[in-house]
Structures are given as C-alpha cells and as structure tokens.
Structure 1
Amino acid sequence: MSGDGENGPPPDPERGERPTVTGGGPTAVAQLSEDAVRVFRWVSDHGVCAARTLGEALGLPEARTASAVTTLTGLLLLRRLPDDPDLLVPVAPDAAIAALVAPQEAALRRQLAEIDRLRGELALLTPFYAEGQRRRQGRTPLTVVTDLQTVVGMITEATIRCAQEVRTCHPGGGRSPALLEQAYIRDRDMLRRGVRMRTLYQHTARYHLPTQEYARRMTDEGAEIRTLSELFGRMVAFDGETVLIPHQDDPDAAVVIQDPSTVAYLCATFDHAWSLAEPYHPAWTESPVRDEVKQAIVRLLAEGMKDEMVARRLGMSLRTCRKHIAEIMEQLGAASRFQAGYLARVESSGPAPAQPGG
C-alpha cells in the first residue's frame, strides 16, 4: 500500500511525494507519505474533522487527500466515528503501534519458542552421536586373540549382539557333530530373532552326513547355505562391522577385524563368492556340482599341485582326492597327474590348430 492509496494515482516526485515501501510479510504496512503526515497533523490539531473538507482545508487534490486518509486509517492513526463515518478523529501513535506491532511480536515470540523447542529436542541426540563417535574411534582395527576360550566367548557375545546379518565361510570338509550341534543352537536363536544367516561350504561338505543334517535343520529355520569348489578362507562377519578370521600360525587363535574398510572388503569378497556358489542339496552324486569339483582338481593338477595340496584346497580327504584323480586319469587316458591336467585343459579349449605343412 502506498501513501496514495491502493487504487490512487502513482506518486509524483515533483509534488514531494515519496513512494511507499512494503515489507515481504503477510502483515506488512505502508510507510507514511508527506501528504499523510500533513493530514494527520491537521486532524490532531482540530481533534475531529470531516473527511470531505480536508482537501480544501489543506489545499490538496481530492485524490491525494483520499489516499492519505486511506493510509492513515490503515495504520490505525485515524478512525471514523461509528455514528458518522465521514468524521475522522486521531489515534495516539503509541496505541497504533501497540495494535499493529503486538500481533507481529506475538508471532515472532511463537517462532522463537519453536526454534528453542527444536534446538532443545535435537540437542538431546548430541550425547548419543558423541558416544558413537567415541566408540568408533576407540575401536581397535585389528586384535589378535590367542586364547581359544576367549575366541569362543567373543563369537558367542557377537552372536548375541548381532541384529541384522551374519556371514560365515567354512572351507574344508564337514565339521564334527559336536561342533555342528553347538553351532545349531547358537545359530537357531539368531535366526529366530530375525537375523539373516548366509553360510558358504565347499562342495565336498555335501558328502558329510552330519553336515547334511545340520544344513537341513538350519534351512528349515530360514538359513541360506551354498557351496563352492574353492573358498577364499575361513571367516565369520557380524552385521558388516566385525570379522573374525583364523590366525595364520596358531589354530586356536583368531584375528578380530573392526577396521571399516577391511571389513567392507571381506564382506564384498564373501558376497562375490556367494553369487558364484550353488544352493546346498545333499543328493548331488551326478549333479553339475560333482563335475565342478573334478574340474577344480584338473585345474589344480595342471598348475602342478601335489595330491595333498589339492585335497586341502578343495576340503576333501586325501583318499577321496586320489580317487577322483584316478577316475580323471582313466577318463583322459593320462599317464601322470600333470598330463591329466594338461590333457583336460587342451580338451576344454577345443581342437588345436593345424600345423603348417601338416
């Protein structure tokens, strides 16, 4: 709203009029023009004045007088008498200020109170964040635990705390029935809490009757089990935060890893192996999984590995490994293990190109 009124003519600088400036808020009000100041002084001097005589008394055009009156009534500096709306009386500026500013001050106080409430509410979370930071920074990236009972206790504690997922990788053949029974009770409780469980075995674990029974019971509880001919190593990962791997030189020791980058790398390695693995099914005598085991034996033989190393890599007994090797050599007509690997590799790559002049 300008000093010339909402519907009045635009301000004329040559007559000393100033453009009014309004704020951006919903309760913004007009600034006073010089005409409005003259009208207010006149009405204040006379106490009461007829609106129709103001222009003549002040020597102002009717449109400018009407605009000034509109501005002053909008600012609550003039009010019309109820009995005669043409009569104007002045209002004390302090009263007008109180009437105009009080609602805005109240709204501002409400905004400030909301800001204080929000600040206080969010500040309640600061201790939790700080504690989490301290815990993360206080974690030891790598810890070597040499006592077997301590290792078992750490696994049990991590199992109890686990809330989302556990990844386990078990190279080698089947585990002992006693260990499998302990694992079943512990793992079953996790599954019933809604924890996802994924386990990788080597294909040779499908031969092992206790492992077959364990796998059946666990899959009934919701566990996921897959097998692969070769695995990258033994590990158990809890919630993508803590990984336990065996110590290289001490079978009773473990290495606890909590470094985020290393844990993420190990979990990604597990996930890649998982994507290549086959779902666990005990009956697999003539399945592609059996062929995959033989292909792995052939590949390792071609690399020059001894029987003992092949058996260890594939998680099978030396006797079973040598039985497979004998079958492969007979099938290929090979005189030696290395030749068997070579012949199998040539056979898988297709016929050799013809020699020149042949």
Structure 2
Amino acid sequence: MGEHGQLPGPGGAAGRTVSGTQLSEDAVRVFRWVSDQGSCDARTLGATLGLTEDCAASAVATLTGLLLLRHLPEDSDRLVPVAPDAAIAALVAPKEAGLRRQLAEIDQLRGELALLTPFYAESRRRWQGRPPLTEVTDLKTVVGMITEATMRCRQEVRTCHPGGGRSPTLLEQAFIQDRDMLRRGVRMRTLYQHTARYHLPTQEYARRMTDEGAEIRTMSELFGRMVAFDGETVFIPHQDDLDAAIVIHEPSTVAYLCATFDHTWSLAEPYHPAWTESSARDEVKQAIVRLLAEGMKDEMVARRLGMSLRTCRKHIAEIMEQLGAASRFQAGYLARVQSSAPAPGSA
C-alpha cells in the first residue's frame, strides 16, 4: 500500500497510527532503541543514533504524542518507553466509546423508523388497490393531489392546456413547482394553443421554463386539458364542475391519453413568442374557416381556439374580406371550395 498505508514492519517501514499521525522511520528507530535501553537522555538521543537535532526532536514529539514515550516526573530530560498495548488502550478506548454511542443511536433510529414500515406498507397496498377512476369534487383536494403528484413525479410530466394564457398568479405558482421538478431531472412537456403566444405572462413563464429545460409547443386546437405524471396518473377536468377533476389510474386509459398527447406533440410547433411570420398564424385562420364551415357561432369558435371573442371576430372579418364573403357561413363555404378546387394545370 506504500508508505502512507502500512504499519511499521520489521524493516521499520512507515505507517499510520489510529490518530492519523505518521510514524516515520526515525520514530520507529528511536522507539526500538529506547525500548532496548530502558531509558535515555533526550538531549543526547540524536547524537547517539546519528540523527540531526530536528529529526530527533520530531521523532520524540511523535512518540510522546502517541503515548509511546514519556518523560520521567523527577527528570524531564529522561525518556522511558510505554507498552504499545497501553498506548493503544489510552488512545483507542475513547474512540471506541464514541463509536459505541453512535451505533446505539443508529440502532435506536433504525428501530423507531422501522415502527412506521407497517403503516406505509398498508397504505401502499391500498394505493395499489385504488379504483381506476376517482371523482374529486373539492377544489382544495384537487390542488393538494396535484401538488402531491408533482412532488412524487420522477420521470416525466405531460401537460395540455387548451385556451389562452393563464393568470400571472397561477403561472408563478406553477413555475415554482415545475422548476423543482426540472431540477430533479424530470422531463416536462407542455402543449398550449397558438393563441397563448399573444399572452405576455405566458410568454414570460415560457421563457423562464425553457431556460430551466422545459419543452413547450403549440397547436391551433388541442384535444383537452390534462396533466399526466410518470405515465401512471392523469388528471382531467370534470365535465360538469369547473372546480372538480377526474383522477385516472387505470393503465390502459392512462397509456391511451399519454399516446394522444405524444401524437399531438409530434404535430405541434415549438413555442416562440413572436409569431407574426409564423405558420401558426395561418393555422389559426385555417381553423377559424373550418369551424365556420361547420356552422359554429363566433363564441364557440373563440372558445375552441382559446382566444377572446373580440380577437376571433377580428380574424373572421379579415377572412371574410379576403374571400369576398357576405356571411360567416359563406366564408366557410368559399374557403372549403377553394381548398378542394384542383390546382391550375392539374389533370
């Protein structure tokens, strides 16, 4: 092991004591010589062994520190050897006592924590046997369950947020939890609608989150609101109660929803705040035309595309002007006819 890892051998190789003090070859020579003589004069020790004054003093200091040499009370210049077993007992006993105390504390802590194991195991069995779908009607309970799932998440969270931008307060609360997940190594993918690119608080949230490693994309329309944790638990909104949620654990349903998210993600565009020249703007207008052709009213179109009614009507007016349409339904019809007409020169 080399000179820093061996105890002294017959040849006087250096080693290390329990205190970490280096036993030099000179110290070993001094101890052997004093042991042979029974005692020695510290003032003549160096000259007797052919050591410099500094080397002799260093060796004596090491040996007295390790309780292997001691000065006689009646003659402080006289050194006598001490049995290594006695020195070991004096040096090691306090450390062993400390270790015994630490081991006792560890055993006590282990025993106290082990008392909780049956409670956790029982809860785990109940958790694994939970119903595939749970209706939670209390908003605080919903928030608490999502917070707990966020803290427990270890691999990936998928989030789909239809509609426009969210309130700055909700975005700030989400940022703190989402940042903590990202710093634990959790992958985070979020889908917004294209119209969220207009929203300044969402722009700032997206910038901060992408700086932390999150991935954000947008589409003109989304399939619905959901949050999926680790491909095991999905939260979706309640159909009849805005403050309620449905929590899904059933594996096939969770896998289906996550696959739906992944498919939508593959079609979505990476988030960029400035989108005047982006194809996302054209996609929004195409979606408006398609929904008008289906006979939807302005309010429904705005809700489906996550924009305000005023913005929606502004887009509709531009589309009608471009198509020369007298009504919204006619605009949808004309756009559909134009899109189905064969290109010039085609067979």
Which TM-score bucket, shorter chain as reference?
0.5 to 0.7
Aligned length, in residue pairs: 225
1:318 aligns with 2:317: no
Corresponding position of 1:303:
294
In structure 2, relative to structure 1, the CA distance for the partners of 1:329 and 1:228 (3 Å cut) is same
Equivalent position amino acid for 2:146 in 1: I
Corresponding position of 2:192:
201
Corresponding position of 2:233:
242
Q: Quote the offset at 1:136 in angstroms.
A: 6.7
Q: Quote the offset at 1:135 in angstroms.
A: 5.5
1:227 aligns with 2:218: yes
Corresponding position of 1:152:
143
Measured against aligned partners, the alpha-carbon deviations of 1:51-108 in whole angstroms (never above 9, x if no partner) come to xxxxxxxxxxxxxxxxxxxxxxxxxxxxxxxxxxxxxxxxxxxxxxxxxxxxxxxxxx
| RMSD of aligned Cα (Å) | 1.9
Equivalent position amino acid for 1:142 in 2: L
Gaps of 5+ in 1: 1-126, 354-358
Corresponding position of 2:45:
none
Aligned pairs (5 A) from 1:93-104: none
Distance 1:131 1:145 in 2: 23
Distance 1:273 1:236 in 2: 14
Q: Quote the offset at 1:347 in angstroms.
A: 1.0
Q: Quote the offset at 1:134 in angstroms.
A: 4.1
Q: Quote the offset at 1:286 in angstroms.
A: 2.3
Distance 2:343 2:171 in 1: 49
3-state SS of 1:285 partner:
coil
Q: Quote the offset at 1:140 in angstroms.
A: 1.3
Distance 1:180 1:169 in 2: 14
3-state SS of 1:197 partner:
strand
1:169 aligns with 2:157: no
Gaps of 5+ in 2: 1-117
Equivalent position amino acid for 1:152 in 2: V
Corresponding position of 1:286:
277
Equivalent position amino acid for 1:280 in 2: Y
Measured against aligned partners, the alpha-carbon deviations of 1:124-153 in whole angstroms (never above 9, x if no partner) come to xxx9xx989945750210111111111110
3-state SS of 1:231 partner:
coil
Measured against aligned partners, the alpha-carbon deviations of 1:162-199 in whole angstroms (never above 9, x if no partner) come to 00000000000000000000000000000000000000
Distance 2:128 2:268 in 1: 36
Distance 1:148 1:211 in 2: 23
Equivalent position amino acid for 2:313 in 1: R
Distance 1:132 1:151 in 2: 20
In structure 2, relative to structure 1, the CA distance for the partners of 1:138 and 1:319 (3 Å cut) is same
Provide the TM-score with structure 1 as the length reference.
0.61
Distance 1:200 1:132 in 2: 34
Distance 1:134 1:259 in 2: 16
Look at both structures and tell me which one has the larger radius of gyration over its CA atoms: 1
Distance 1:318 1:231 in 2: 18
Distance 2:306 2:195 in 1: 6
Distance 1:334 1:225 in 2: 36
Equivalent position amino acid for 1:334 in 2: A
